[in-house]
Amino acid sequence: MPLRLDAGRAGFEAEFDALVTARRQAPQDVRATVAEILARVEKDGDAAVIDYTKKFDRLDLTPETIAIGPDEIEGAWGKCDRRLLSALEHSAARIEDYHRRQMPQDSLYRDDDGTELGFRWQPLDAVGLYVPGGKAAYPSSVLMNAVPARVAGVPRLAMVVPTPGGELVPAVLAAAKIAGVSEIYRIGGAQAVAALAYGTETIGAVDKIVGPGNIYVATAKAQVFGQVGIDSVAGPSEVLIIADKGSAPKWIAADLMAQAEHDSAAQSVLITDDQEFADAIGREVEACLASLPRAAIAAASWRDHGAIITVSDLQDAVGLVDRMAPEHLQLACEDGIAGQLAAAVKHAGAIFIGRLTPEAIGDYVAGPSHVLPTSRTARFSSGLSVFDFLKRSSLIRYGAAGLAKSGAAAVTLAEAEGLHAHALSVALRLKEGLKEGLKGD
């Protein structure tokens, strides 16, 4: 049974704090193993990647077979059901449309002193995309990571996908083709993260690595951060659902299990203002589990990390939401209430508003990327977007008038900080440059 909490009961604050602050971190032995793998790949390149792929994925590779070629990509496309390809194309189109609307504009202006200021956005040169593989393959993750990068203008997308025992779901390669990814390698795990971060004889290093993976992948991304950028160190997936008694218990139970079936460490939490509705959800979850192929995983998640919380008024849930800062917030309420709650909440990765908007639709076709901040990081970070694949440069051009007005202040500040070469750099221009006239002014 999941945790049952009542906001009106004595001791609730301590119980809720324990739920919020529970940590599902990588154990020390995982961190040590990952560090060893990263060091070996950095030192030995392809040879280390090949050895680890044989050990962990039971696949013999050579430098010539690490990459997945165009013929294999085309072959995979031909193996996919037409309905699936159509669904992937539909999803990609919606993701692209959403992210094109996010693209920022450059700006350049002159202030009152004639100083020219602005900023310019440019795409990263190369991005690595990590995609889970084998039987737990997610073509939707290919689209959710690759399409925003392509919209941002990244010229090189290098995808890694593990193929344990040589098994690769054709839909993953089909999604890569739709997203415009042609550089693909059949490797995974921490060794794939290392190959992308440091480069090998076969795989060129990238500037940033994005995409979900298991605990070894997440830990590897954390450890290579600084050598390369990363999107986030993702924890287990999570959903918080606020639902009233007007919602169908069967729907809400399915929504909770949709998150729970990801991983036994995933978390599904319900907040409601009706005790009878809460009881009905518990019964419907059991009925739902009876029909799920991944019932063992979902049941473990629900038992170990799930929670049902009752409050006296749904408006009281806002503070609880912000303390949890969930990856996904689903508001299965009457439209007016759902809109009010959505406007009041400050911390959530993505907000799904109304009874007809299950979180699961956001995993596939809504448009925003389903790569979202987990483990309360929605307090200070956002979901994956074009901004993850762009960098901004400031533009500054001073003329004589601007330097004459601001230069003395810069000198004063530099001297106050004990940085005398800084002060001299500006003072010389004030003394000599303004007399001669500055080029281009």
Catalytic residue among 327, 359, 370, 436: 327
Burial of 226 (0-12, 13-18, 19+ CB in 10 A): exposed
Catalytic residue among 328, 347, 422, 432: 328
Tracing tokens 């949890």 back to the chain, one arrives at: 324
CA distances from 421 to 162, 344, 432 (A): 53, 50, 16
**CA geometry: angle 168, 171, 172, nearest 5 deg:** 65
Q: 3-state class of 5 per DSSP?
A: strand
Residues in the chain: 441
Burial of 293 (0-12, 13-18, 19+ CB in 10 A): exposed
Could you tell me which residues come within 8 angstroms of residue 55 by beta carbon, excluding any fewer than 6 positions away? none
**What is the C-alpha to C-alpha distance for residues 78 and 148, in angstroms, rounded to an integer?**
26
**What is the C-alpha to C-alpha distance for residues 193 and 207, in angstroms, rounded to an integer?**
12
Structure-block tokens of residue 99: 């992210």
Structure-block tokens of residue 118: 């602005």
Residue 328 a catalytic site member = yes
Q: Is the dihedral of CA 338, 343, 346, 350 positive or negative?
A: positive
Q: Which residues pair with 122 in a beta bridge?
A: 391
Could you tell me how far CA 223 lies from the centroid of its own chain? 17
Report the b/e string of 3-31 with b at 16+ CB within 10 A: bbbbbeeeebeebbeebeeeebebeeebb
Tracing tokens 């849930």 back to the chain, one arrives at: 317
The answer to whether the beta carbons of residues 273 and 361 sit under 8 Å apart is no
- Parallel, antiparallel, or unpaired: how do β-strands 238-243 and 229-230 relate? unpaired
Q: Is the dihedral of CA 223, 226, 231, 232 positive or negative?
A: positive
Could you tell me which residues come within 8 angstroms of residue 19 by beta carbon, excluding any fewer than 6 positions away? 3, 5, 269, 307, 324
**What is the C-alpha to C-alpha distance for residues 189 and 199, in angstroms, rounded to an integer?**
15
Show which residues are catalytic.
327-328
